[in-house]
């Protein structure tokens, strides 16, 4: 009975983790412990993308037909400005990292080691 109670207590936390949650390097030698700064890393956590000096709420996810990808409405704010963009995210099958596509731009990020989170 106690095991069942523990399992139900843990399940809500597991359900919140999104398919792209993690910390990603901006460059090959980026510092994984520095999130949101130049030379550091980017983070996705609980449907929020934390970039350099900005963050975006990832809303209205739509699965892309015939692709392992999701299209999001990104509600962004940073440096005294707010804006909306669409972005497509997919897991990089070769490296285990992230591919992020904005209108006219595509980025490939390597995932930081688990102990960096």
Does residue 26 lie within any of the structural domains? Answer: yes
Per-residue pLDDT of 78-112, as tens digits, reads 989 999 999 999 999 988 899 999 999 999 999 99
pTM score of the predicted model? 0.78
Quote the tokens at residue 34. Answer: 């520095």
Q: What is the CATH number of the domain that holds 88?
A: 2.40.128
Domain that holds residue 107: 19-116
| Tokens (6 digits) for 71 | 């299209």
64 touches 52 (CB < 8 A): no
Residue 66 placed within a domain: yes
Please check whether residue 39 lies inside any domain of the structure.
Answer: yes
Which token pair is 4?
């069942």
Q: How far apart are CA 80 and CA 6, in angstroms?
A: 43
Within a domain: residue 102?
Answer: yes
pLDDT tens profile 12-48: 444 456 889 999 999 989 999 999 898 899 999 999 9
- Within-domain flag for 4: no
Domain count, the chain: 1
């Amino acid at each position: 009975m106690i095991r069942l109670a523990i399992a139900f207590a843990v399940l809500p936390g597991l359900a919140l983790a999104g398919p792209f949650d993690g910390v990603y390097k901006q460059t090959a030698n980026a510092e994984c412990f520095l999130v949101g700064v130049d030379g550091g890393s980017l983070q996705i956590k609980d449907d929020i993308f934390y970039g350099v000096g900005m963050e975006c709420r990832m809303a209205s996810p739509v699965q892309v037909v015939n692709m392992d990808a999701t299209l999001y409405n990104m509600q962004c704010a940073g440096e005294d400005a707010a804006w909306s963009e669409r972005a497509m995210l997919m897991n990089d099958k070769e490296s285990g990292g992230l591919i992020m596509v904005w209108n006219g731009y595509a980025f490939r990020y390597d995932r930081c080691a688990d102990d960096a989170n």
